[in-house]
Structure 1
Amino acid sequence: MAYLTALTSTLALLATSVRAAPAPSRFSFYTLPTPESGPCDMVEGHDGMLYIQNFLVDTLVRLDPSTGVTTEYQIPYNNPPAATSVLPGLGNRTALACAIRPGDDGLIYAASGVRNEIVQLDPATGMVKVFAQPANDPLGDLQPFNDMWPGPTGMFFSQTTGNVISLFNYDSHTFQNYPVPTPLSGPLGMRLASDGALWFTEFIAQKIGRLNYTSGSITEYPIPTLDLSLLGPAVLRVEEDPYLYFTGFVGDGIGRIDIHSGEIDSFPYTVPAAFPAEDTQDPKGNVWFSTATQNTIQYLTPSTGKFTTIPLPDTVVAEPGLLPNAQIGITYGPGNAIWFAELSMNRIGRYALS
């Protein structure tokens, strides 16, 4: 009897211990090798590595998701900068860049912020090259934020203050420019959609543009003036037929446009002054997005219109105005995970979905 009592007590204790064990965190964090790098945008490469574009230092970083090992690549800008660059020489912190995408040619391409050039990284060799248009517009990206998207023959990118969509040819290294019809429209985020056209946001003009890059024609769709949640349409990277989803950076909302009808509608976010920045999509169709002032990650389920917010594990204050982690970049993958960049914390975060 004493034996059974002891055994029962032991099993009860083990059961209690099992119940009390904390669940493993879905979050992982990776600090970048150079202090104050300011990771801003990132993307999964064709090799399954995560490639990061820094905002506060002129480097690209490769992160191996299986080991956490980082490799840093210096961008060989001329110092002092060439005549086509806006800023004077400031050491290696002169670009303020925030856009990176894998090209269809297997290489990695990144923007160069206010320098208005194209950065090319060969993952196999680690070689980094910089290309500028012969008649480069020094005011093309006077504010540093723009975007890129790979096409079959080259990399598209926006010159936000130059009011131009550009295409850099993978093979010839030449540029083709497509002026946006509306003056001072502020073209920013973009995606090559399933209809074969390049769709892009017009941050200042409050429009969504569609570029037929074969003919060069651009069609513009005004965002409803009364929809204040879509003020400042910024990044457009998610497609779920027939919709393209984009962030309303100033208005605190997620918008979508029907690529067949051009109809635009919105999902106002419930947190004020969050400043939704980039968006991405998981396999279930949820639209994840970063915010510049919230110490959270969050997603929209379009079928229900519901937002889900997930606080970061070391968050002190989730609301805006106090110690924001300044998230800009967010992407699905590598792996079944959401990756996000914390500019002010100098680290990359990973949230496992399974």
Structure 2
Amino acid sequence: MAACDFVCRSPAIARLALFLVALMSCITLLAHSQDAWLDQAPESDLPEGPGKAIIEEACVMCHALSLVSSAGYDRAQWLEAVDRMVTLGAELTPDQVPVVVDYLAANFPDRSTQAVVVAGAVEVSIKEWTVPTPGSRPHDPLVAPDGMIWYTGQRANVMGRFDPKTEQFKEYPLPIKDSGPHGLAADKDGNIWFTANSAAYVGKLDPKTGEVKEYKMPDPKAGDPHTPIFDQRGILYFTLQRANMIGRINPKTDEIKLITLPTPRSNPYGMVVGSDNTIYLCEFGGNRLAKIDPDTMELTEYTLPNPATRPRRIAITPDDVLWYSDYARGYLGRFDPKTGKHTEWTSPGGFGSQPYGITAIGDIIWYSESGVEPNTMVRFDPATEKFQTWPIPSGGGVVRNVSPTPDGSEIWLATSGVNGIARVSIKQP
């Protein structure tokens, strides 16, 4: 499929579509892990007013109330969202619908934040492609060892492969319905591993045959495998966000081990591996990072200074310093686990910019601002403490994760809300 010259679409509509995708994913997860979901559901933080009690009663059985309070749309968009909820089974009477919609529009209005473009000396070019299946909502990208680009077609229940040389796509339908493929990792043999976020398993796909091997979670509460990563020994680790767990799979023995985080509702999210094989992760449900001893699975938590910090994804530089995207506050954070020193910088888009996917190329930090319109790619040089940003031509529609090439010349993105993938080519000096 040829690259697209995108016409800028409404980012607000893209965000609404992603809200509905998240809603449907939550409902699917509930079917697999209702007890775990309710155990993790936070107390209501909704403002007072007509409609609050209705929402608390009708919505909490399908998704956490934080999914509501973190959103923001105009009245017409909220009406579309509520209509979809009713279609999916929310118990609202015709008289209650306008009350709920008015409440949501008044308390959670459209919070669109315009992108801030920061000029600089580095040059990049961005090229985008639409994936073959409409409505796939690619979630995560992965640059495989053979140079192929993979993505999870979360809503289409497919794994996608893209050849950058021929610009041809190939999609692999998953055998288990509504798997919700989410995160990606490649092993040394070229197999592509993925987390089935809606179906309680981790999958291994052989690109040569298309065969998928499923590793089903041994605990019924472990319903939502999330972000996977291989350590230096070829052991796969993965987070389970709502289940509040970390998982480990030994591909040689097929053994699966799960541990529960010590702090309830931590919502473990992004992961990286240090030079000594230590596993580091974000606790998106609080202001914490954590590390895992790969030999004992012992977990140590690091509390970040600001209670409002919500680290979502994480990167690591060659000196084993951790960098994280503070999604809630609009900050880029740095944490040195050796010294405990913490530093942070306001992201160019400020509050509401929602920094998300992040990676390190050498000492340089690259990440996406997913809450601005259009989404941006951000470059940060720790040596100069200078930012540079580039708008994504299509708008991006929430860039959730990024994946660099081994030589650092490119970064690949999944542009969920516009149903595509993108390549950021970095001009080398």
Which residue pairs with 1:344 in the alignment?
417
Q: Secondary structure at the match of 2:198?
A: helix
Give the stretch that moved more between structures: 99-108 or 57-66.
Answer: 99-108
Give, as a single letter, the amino acid of the residue that structure 1 aligns with 2:398: A
Structure 1 residue 275 and structure 2 residue 354: aligned?
Answer: yes
Give, as a single letter, the amino acid of the residue that structure 2 aligns with 1:245: W
1:211 corresponds to which of 264, 287, 292 = 292
Q: Secondary structure at the match of 2:423?
A: strand
- Tell me, yes or no, if the aligned pair for 2:237 and 2:248 is still in contact at 8 Å: yes
Question: C-alpha separation between the residues in 2 aligned to 1:193 and 1:260?
Answer: 12
- Tell me, yes or no, if the aligned pair for 1:103 and 1:154 is still in contact at 8 Å: no
Question: C-alpha separation between the residues in 2 aligned to 1:239 and 1:136?
Answer: 36
Which residue pairs with 1:59 in the alignment?
158
- Structure 1 pair 175/308, CA: closer, same or farther in 2 (3 Å)? same
- Tell me, yes or no, if the aligned pair for 1:65 and 1:334 is still in contact at 8 Å: no
- Tell me, yes or no, if the aligned pair for 2:143 and 2:412 is still in contact at 8 Å: no
Instruction: Deviation per CA, 1:180-221: give whole Å up to 9, x if none.
Output: 122221111111111321111111131111110212221111
Which residue pairs with 2:96 in the alignment?
none
Which residue pairs with 1:28 in the alignment?
127
1:300 corresponds to which of 380, 391, 397 = 380
How much has 1:43 moved relative to structure 2?
A: 1.0
Higher fraction of strand = 1
Question: C-alpha separation between the residues in 1 aligned to 2:253 and 2:275?
Answer: 26
Which residue pairs with 1:326 in the alignment?
398
Structure 1 residue 156 and structure 2 residue 237: aligned?
Answer: yes
Question: C-alpha separation between the residues in 2 aligned to 1:331 and 1:234?
Answer: 16
Q: Secondary structure at the match of 2:134?
A: coil
Question: C-alpha separation between the residues in 1 aligned to 2:193 and 2:182?
Answer: 11
- Tell me, yes or no, if the aligned pair for 2:275 and 2:320 is still in contact at 8 Å: no
Question: C-alpha separation between the residues in 2 aligned to 1:348 and 1:242?
Answer: 29
Question: C-alpha separation between the residues in 1 aligned to 2:398 and 2:377?
Answer: 11
- Taking structure 2 as the reference length, the TM-score comes to 0.66
How much has 1:25 moved relative to structure 2?
A: 8.4
- Counting aligned pairs with the same residue, the percent is 25
CA RMSD of aligned residues (A): 2.1
Map 1:137-176; keep pairs closer than 5 Å.
Answer: 137=221, 140-141=223-224, 146-151=226-231, 152-176=233-257
Higher fraction of helix = 2
Which residue pairs with 1:250 in the alignment?
328
Instruction: Deviation per CA, 1:268-303: give whole Å up to 9, x if none.
Output: 2131311111101235x3211122233222121121
1:224 corresponds to which of 293, 305, 316 = 305
How much has 1:253 moved relative to structure 2?
A: 1.3
Question: C-alpha separation between the residues in 2 aligned to 1:337 and 1:160?
Answer: 29
- Tell me, yes or no, if the aligned pair for 2:394 and 2:418 is still in contact at 8 Å: no
- Tell me, yes or no, if the aligned pair for 2:292 and 2:300 is still in contact at 8 Å: yes
- Taking structure 1 as the reference length, the TM-score comes to 0.79
- Tell me, yes or no, if the aligned pair for 1:50 and 1:334 is still in contact at 8 Å: no
Structure 1 residue runs of 4 or more that deviate by more than 3 Å after TM superposition: none
Q: Secondary structure at the match of 1:71?
A: strand
How many residue pairs were aligned?
300
Instruction: Pick the structure with greater CA Rg.
Output: 1
Gaps in structure 1 of 5+ consecutive residues:
1-23, 80-93, 316-323
- Tell me, yes or no, if the aligned pair for 2:352 and 2:371 is still in contact at 8 Å: yes
How much has 1:222 moved relative to structure 2?
A: 0.2
Instruction: Deviation per CA, 1:148-206: give whole Å up to 9, x if none.
Output: 11022421001112121110111222201222122221111111111321111111131
